[in-house]
Amino acid sequence: MIDRFVPNQYFPSVFDISITQLKEKGITSIIIDLDNTLIGWDMDEATAELKNWFDLLHKEGFSITIVSNNSRHRVRTFADPLGISYIARAKKPLGGSFEKAASLMDAATEDTAVIGDQLLTDILGGNRRGFHTILVAPVKQSDGAATKFNRFMERKVFKAMKRKGLMEWKENEKTK
């Protein structure tokens, strides 16, 4: 059961993910979370560094879809200026939004990575559908009200994974 929460890879931020390694794994499409994965949950716009990262991904031939549990207005405000497709109110970890995103990109499961900052939504949802999953540390140490319970539960899952030797991480990055 705990295996469903273990990501295929873990990085401190999206900027630490090797585009070359993704390509070597055959990844051509990316399903990515918004809040605390790309920007803080209380921010509206992409940073210059993030815009450059998206430009590089597009230049390298990757398709990208943002999949967020947040409102349509929230996700659209971020995604539209960047020309990135999105699915809002995704109900993650349920799989329908992940499959819809892959379909929007005309991508096969084995060609798609799911990137997010939460085990209970992004990683569980991606793993349940067989996607390559990548966990990143949250952009901010604080969360919106709806996420606080998930973080509480996530700390318990991390401790269980550590006890079983399923995943190593820096204590200050994921357990606070």
pTM: predicted TM-score of the whole model, two decimal places: 0.86
pLDDT computed for residue 165 by the predictor: 73
Cβ neighbours for 142, distance < 8 A, ≥ 6 positions apart: 41, 42
Three-class DSSP category at 168: coil
**Helix/strand/coil (H, E, C) string of 68-132?**
CCCCHHHHHHHHHHHCCEEECCCCCCCCHHHHHHHHHCCCCHHHEEEEECCHHHHHHHHHHCCCE
pLDDT band at 120; cut points 50, 70, 90: confident
**Domains of the chain, start order:** 2-174 (3.40.50.1000)
Which tokens sit at 40?
A: 């803080």
Q: What is the pLDDT of residue 171?
A: 43
What's the confidence (pLDDT) of residue 172?
Answer: 41
Binning pLDDT at 50, 70 and 90, where does residue 128 land? very high
pLDDT for 130-173, tens place per residue?
999 999 998 877 565 666 667 677 776 767 777 767 776 554 44
Going from the C-alpha of 141 to that of each of 37, 42, 147, the distances in angstroms are: 11, 12, 12
Is the predicted pLDDT of residue 10 greater than 70, yes or no?
Answer: yes
What's the gap between Cα 99 and its chain centre?
Answer: 15
CA-closest candidate to residue 67, choices 99, 20, 39: 99
**Residue-level pLDDT at 143:** 61
How sure is the predictor about 41, in pLDDT bands with cuts at 50, 70 and 90? confident
CA distances from 163 to 47, 73, 154, 156, 166 (A): 37, 41, 14, 11, 8
Mean pLDDT, to the nearest integer, of 44-62? 95
Look at strands 85-87 and 112-116 and give their pairing.
unpaired
Instruction: Give the pLDDT confidence of 77-99 residue by residue, as tens digits.
Output: 999 999 999 999 999 998 799 99
Split at pLDDT 50, 70, 90, the class of 100 is very high
Higher pLDDT among residues 2 and 31, named by residue? 31
